Amino acid sequence: MTPGDGNLIDAHLHLQDGRLKNHQARILETLRKERVAWWGVNGTSPDDWSDVAFLAESNQEVFPFFGVHPWRVNALEDSWEEELTGWLKKFPRSGVGEIGLDRWIRDHDLPRQREVFARQLDLALVFQRPVAIHCLRAFGHLAEILEEKNWERPFLLHSYGGPREMIASFLQRGAYFSISGYFFHEEKRKKLEVFDSIPADRILLETDSPDMLPPERLRREALRIDSEEGEELNHPANLVAIYEAFAEWAGLSLETVVQQMSSNCDRWLSESTSHDSGVPDRP
């Protein structure tokens, strides 16, 4: 399948998440039925990199990202960077993610986050890989680090919830910005409206499954899944409804949105990758 055939891409999710494990086979079947043909599966720490790798080896639709999420930096062993380097070498077609900064979580250690984040950016540069960035309440720090590194390569600010005023500077640094279904909640409308300031060729769509549940109207009954604790999870196939909601919000046809997202994703990946290492495959 190719994007031109009407296939969808999920720019950011966590298909390896343990909460989805008992549902994984059915989820994969449903994603293929719904023509979701590219899954940007992001790791969060050394603990789940092997699970991301397994999914990538078993499913051609998976594009793996290996990285340390800012929530996981305090539990790192000294060997984390060597391990990450190993996974990037083993998977020449992979990205660095989910990495970033987060001042929202309780007891955050921002200096440690900055250190780990900066070292992962260096690895992405060395290996010429796509980058997926998480940032919450730390956009000034993010801008500062990008400036320090003179960063001018594509990167994805996933589920962007930052200020409108910083969009221009991030664009100059190479940013793409993804919208999750969560932003279609009525109380999140202001965050969605920020995307009015982002060029159409720098926008991507994502589920961030199993988190970031979209509003009730974007959840199909047939796709409902629960964790062992009874928590309703965000099914990756909710991406279909997210595409439809974005098309309505943007005043575009669904076909146009599908083509636009495929083109944007291809550009993000290809411009992130050196000529020598090859352009990441798309199914």
pTM of the predicted structure, to 2 decimals:
0.94
Q: In what order do the strands lie in the sheet with 203-206?
A: 96-102, 131-136, 155-157, 175-180, 203-206
Q: What is the mean pLDDT of the chain?
A: 94
Q: What is the pLDDT of residue 6?
A: 75
**126 CB-contact burial (10 Å; exposed 0-12 / middle 13-18 / buried 19+):** exposed
**In Å, what is the CA distance from 35 to each residue of 1, 10, 38?**
9, 11, 9
**pLDDT tens sequence across 138-162:** 999 999 999 999 999 999 999 999 9
Q: What is the pLDDT of residue 274?
A: 59
**pLDDT tens sequence across 66-104:** 999 999 999 999 999 999 999 999 999 999 999 999 999
Our measurement of the distance from residue 121's CA atom to the centroid of its chain's CA atoms, rounded to an integer in Å, reads 16
Q: 150 in the Ramachandran plot: left (φ > 0), alpha (ψ -120 to 50) or beta?
A: left
* pLDDT higher than 70, residue 2: no
Q: 256 in the Ramachandran plot: left (φ > 0), alpha (ψ -120 to 50) or beta?
A: alpha
Q: Answer for the pair 255, 224: CB distance below 8 angstroms, yes or no.
A: no
* pLDDT higher than 80, residue 275: no
Place of tokens 């039925």: 33
Show the domains of the chain with their CATH numbers. Answer: 3-272 (3.20.20.140)
